[in-house]
Structure 1
Amino acid sequence: MRRPTILIADDHPVVRCGIRSLLADDRYDVVGEAADLEQTVALAGRHRPALLLLDLSFAGVSSLGVLPRVRTVSPDTRVLILTMHNDAASARDALAAGAHGFLRKEAAAGELVTAADALAAGGRYLDPSLGAALVARETRLDGALSGRERAVLALIADGLTNQQIAGELHLSVRTIEAQRASIKVKLGVSRRAELISCARRLRLTA
């Protein structure tokens, strides 16, 4: 039986070596190592690995932006994000971008094998410590907003300006501005893109 193939992408040689030593056994075949994002895409297209173990950050640049390119050159590759970041928001962003798993680099060696096994079997994997935090955050998010705030958020996500939202809801622009500020505080976000992401998770928009 052919072993699942793995591509390791990390800008630190020591990390790549450590991952290879853990996974290059009778169950997996490490077919390549990438030191930057362009090399990651190139090697993914060349080898079409079953798994891509991808560092979340390369020299301060998020790797999530290359996931669409990886899917284009190797549609069946499943992606496990490895990171030093210990926060649920990073995990949520990675999964939303198309990753199939998320694991902290501080995790035990056996957990990396468990995560790889899960993805190789067609499943997903989320670092247990972050999984609980992610569920808790989504639960808080769901009950954070009032009915009016949810209506405002839905219209923001639909691309309406404050003036247009005021017209739709028959409220003053100042009231909408106050509602918008309240929504940002309650959801812990600051940018419009983050508001739209929250609206989608709350199923307030397509």
Structure 2
Amino acid sequence: MDAVRAINGESAPHVTVVLADDHLVVRAGMRLLLSQDPAFDIVAESATLPDTLRAVEQHHPSVLVLDLNLAGQSSLGSIPELQAASPRTRILVLTMQEDPAFAREAMRNGAAGYLLKEAAAEELLGATRQVAAGASYVQPSLGARLAVAALDTPGAAADGALTVREGEVLSLLVLGHTNQEIADRLHVSVRTVETHRARIRNKLGAESKADLITAARERGMLA
């Protein structure tokens, strides 16, 4: 099988996707999951960084789903080059690297989203939809760790420190989830979510969603 494989479908969905992973089985799994949504058209697959760059230059996909390790080569530092090759392409990192430092660096380099391979199938679909729509996405559990890690750095205000749960709620809030959706995802009551929101607003001095987004970005949770 070629490292880059064009896939010609009978229809032309409005979200084109390139899958970059050096494991054939992983690519097959991603292709199977994304094909559940008729809005997605998998236009190419790649297993190396050079082939990924060629695929992006050739297809200018809406979304590039990118592993951080391709054939033994880190793709983290290549995100700006991939972005420059196709500025309208949104890059969703899908990786086993759960260290918040990798997520922070990927987002700073230009990635639109960061998702762990352990995520549920529905989360991959949702994350791909969100980045394709122009939003940022960080897996909520990792977003919480990013917030906590940022607050552990020198100069972080102690009175603004978020708990892990508050970090999860903040991450979901800035991604556009309602109180009910957050409650469902975290398996808590809506009242509990409202309490967390109030505490987050008080700690961060955030009165609006724009304030929350700014606070999340400052904590490395968004690009």
Deviation at 1:60, TM superposition (A): 3.3
Q: 1:63 & 1:98 partners in 2: Cα distance?
A: 12
2:123 is the alignment partner of 1:87: no
Deviation at 1:7, TM superposition (A): 0.2
Secondary structure in 1 matching 2:153: helix
Question: Are the equivalent residues in 2 in contact too, given 1:51–1:79 (CA < 8 A)?
Answer: yes
**What does residue 28 of structure 2 align with?**
17
**After the TM superposition, which residues 1-206 of structure 1 pair with which residues of structure 2 at under 5 Å, given as runs?**
2-24=13-35, 25-143=37-155
Q: 1:96 & 1:79 partners in 2: Cα distance?
A: 12
**What does residue 196 of structure 1 align with?**
none
**Aligned length, in residue pairs:** 147
Question: Are the equivalent residues in 1 in contact too, given 2:49–2:73 (CA < 8 A)?
Answer: no
Deviation at 1:59, TM superposition (A): 3.3
Letter aligned with residue 105 of structure 2: D
Secondary structure in 1 matching 2:31: helix
Structure with greater Cα Rg: 1
Structure 2: state its 5+ residue gaps: 1-11, 158-217
Secondary structure in 1 matching 2:94: strand
Letter aligned with residue 49 of structure 1: P
Question: TM-score, length-normalised on structure 2?
Answer: 0.62
CA RMSD of aligned residues (A): 1.9
Letter aligned with residue 17 of structure 2: I
Percent identity over the alignment? 47
Question: Are the equivalent residues in 2 in contact too, given 1:41–1:70 (CA < 8 A)?
Answer: yes
Q: 1:98 & 1:87 partners in 2: Cα distance?
A: 18
Deviation at 1:100, TM superposition (A): 0.6
Greater per-residue helix proportion: 1
Q: 2:147 & 2:57 partners in 1: Cα distance?
A: 35
Q: 1:70 & 1:12 partners in 2: Cα distance?
A: 20
Deviation at 1:76, TM superposition (A): 0.3
Question: Are the equivalent residues in 2 in contact too, given 1:102–1:125 (CA < 8 A)?
Answer: yes
Question: TM-score, length-normalised on structure 1?
Answer: 0.67
**What does residue 161 of structure 1 align with?**
none
Q: 2:150 & 2:100 partners in 1: Cα distance?
A: 10
Question: Are the equivalent residues in 2 in contact too, given 1:41–1:66 (CA < 8 A)?
Answer: no
Q: 1:140 & 1:132 partners in 2: Cα distance?
A: 13
Q: 1:89 & 1:69 partners in 2: Cα distance?
A: 20
Question: Are the equivalent residues in 1 in contact too, given 2:23–2:47 (CA < 8 A)?
Answer: yes
Q: 1:70 & 1:85 partners in 2: Cα distance?
A: 20
Secondary structure in 1 matching 2:148: helix
